[in-house]
């Protein structure tokens, strides 16, 4: 039982760390406007690209978009001019590593929040165009517009009254190594795209090690570039299977030193986080057991729904329930 709990906590800790490193890697890559330009050139149709002035591409402030969206895209909003400065356009970049059929709804929320922020200061409003940066193991097959989710015939006249929200897809998972190297960005950008595209696909990563290992070896000899490369290596350690990491280390010994060093660090930090999360989980389970016993002693057997509500409580909710127990006349009074 204890072993199963430790395994659950360890998996949760690793998943949390992986998501954190993944999001940080994408944001770090796109903080370079040169890299952002390279991806936008790849994603935007030629007829629209010809109207954009990407030389003026810059980060756009998104400080007041609402708490529910803050971590989702506040670092991935860009703006530039359209038609030689006659209009502004903003590009919202969302990234996914797996198919998600709710992407159009999510991006509609992002776009609506962004337009709501801009409405008081921009007249007319700028265009706001969503871009999906996708790097799954298989080509993206989810919906790319709200109307696709509605599943009405394309000729249905009712659709004219529904929001459309077409999403531009940038599927880097389908790019070959040569395609990646042709993107107009620096070498760190190329390696980041390669890592995002291949880290979960051991077969593809192994097949491409021969091309990318020498490139990374050259970077690791430069202290500044080595620092920029480290987040990519950290991501590979967390996502890529060990046998593939060993093969990469053999092909690029200097890279291997950094990979194995971070792997050991991640292992130790993961154990520490696991212990902390395990203690937290154990404390909450102990509090829940005490409160459950008090509820049963006072009101009788709990229903399944009441049991689930109790198990879902965090420390703060548990404390509040214990206070309510003093004057409560039913289990539901206690659980709130």
- Enumerate the β-bridge partners of residue 91: 78, 129
Q: Which residue has the tokens 């998996």?
A: 11
Structure confidence by residue, pLDDT tens digits, 79-134:
999 888 777 788 888 888 888 888 999 889 888 888 888 888 888 888 889 999 99
Helix (H/G/I), strand (E/B), else coil: 242:
helix
Asked whether residue 69 carries a pLDDT value surpassing 90, the answer given is no
**Cα–Cα distance list, 315 to 104, 285, 288, 289, 290 (Å):** 35, 10, 9, 13, 13
Q: State the pTM of this model.
A: 0.71
Q: Which residue has the higher pLDDT, 290 or 170?
A: 170
Asked whether residue 66 carries a pLDDT value surpassing 80, the answer given is no
- Note the pLDDT of residue 193: 95
Mean of the pLDDT values across residues 227-248? Answer: 85
Q: For residue 200, what are the contacts with CB-CB under 8 A and spacing of at least 6?
A: 97, 136, 137, 239, 240
- Note the pLDDT of residue 336: 78
Q: Which residue has the tokens 């590593």?
A: 97
Residue by residue, DSSP assigns 204-238 as HHHHHHHHHHHHHHHHHTSHHHHHHHHHHHHHHHH
Checking DSSP bridges between strand 87-96 and strand 168-171, what pairing results, if any?
A: unpaired
Helix (H/G/I), strand (E/B), else coil: 116:
helix
**Cα–Cα distance list, 19 to 12, 36, 46, 239, 313 (Å):** 11, 21, 33, 10, 24
Structure confidence by residue, pLDDT tens digits, 269-309:
555 554 455 445 555 565 676 677 678 867 888 888 888 88
| Residues 262, 294: Cα–Cα separation, whole Å | 47
Q: Where are the domains of the chain?
A: 2-266, 284-335
3-state helix, strand, coil in the chain (%, to 5): 65, 10, 25
Q: Which residue has the higher pLDDT, 172 or 5?
A: 172
- Note the pLDDT of residue 286: 55
Asked whether residue 186 carries a pLDDT value surpassing 90, the answer given is yes
């Amino acid at each position: 039982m204890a072993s199963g709990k430790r395994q659950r906590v360890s998996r949760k800790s690793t998943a949390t760390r992986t998501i954190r490193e993944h999001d940080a890697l994408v944001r770090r890559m796109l903080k370079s406007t040169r890299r952002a330009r390279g991806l936008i050139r790849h994603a935007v149709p030629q007829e629209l690209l010809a109207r954009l002035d990407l030389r003026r591409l810059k980060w756009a402030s998104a400080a007041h978009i609402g708490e529910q969206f803050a971590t989702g895209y506040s670092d991935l909003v860009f703006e530039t001019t359209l038609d030689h400065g006659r209009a502004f356009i903003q590009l919202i970049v969302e990234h996914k590593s797996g198919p998600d059929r709710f992407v159009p709804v999510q991006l509609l929320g992002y776009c609506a929040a962004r337009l709501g922020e801009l409405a008081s200061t921009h007249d007319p409003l700028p265009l706001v165009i969503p871009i999906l940066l996708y790097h799954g193991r298989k080509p993206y097959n989810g919906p790319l517009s709200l109307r696709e989710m509605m599943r009405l015939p394309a000729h249905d006249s009712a659709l004219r009254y529904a929001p459309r929200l077409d999403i531009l897809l940038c599927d880097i998972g389908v790019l070959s190594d040569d395609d990646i190297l042709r993107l107009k960005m620096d070498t760190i950008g190329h390696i980041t795209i390669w890592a995002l595209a291949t880290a979960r696909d051991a077969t593809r990563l192994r097949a491409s090690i021969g091309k990318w290992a020498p490139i990374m070896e050259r970077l690791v000899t430069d202290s500044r570039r080595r620092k920029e490369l480290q987040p990519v290596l950290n991501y590979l350690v967390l996502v890529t299977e060990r046998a593939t990491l060993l093969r990469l280390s053999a092909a690029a010994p200097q890279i291997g030193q950094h990979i194995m060093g971070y792997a050991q660090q991640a292992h130790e930090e993961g154990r520490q986080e696991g212990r902390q999360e395990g203690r937290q989980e154990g404390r909450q389970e102990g509090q829940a057991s005490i409160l459950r016993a008090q509820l049963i002693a006072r009101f009788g057997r709990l229903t399944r729904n009441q049991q689930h509500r109790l198990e879902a409580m965090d420390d703060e909710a548990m404390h509040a329930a214990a206070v309510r127990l003093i004057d409560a006349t039913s289990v539901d009074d206690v659980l709130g």
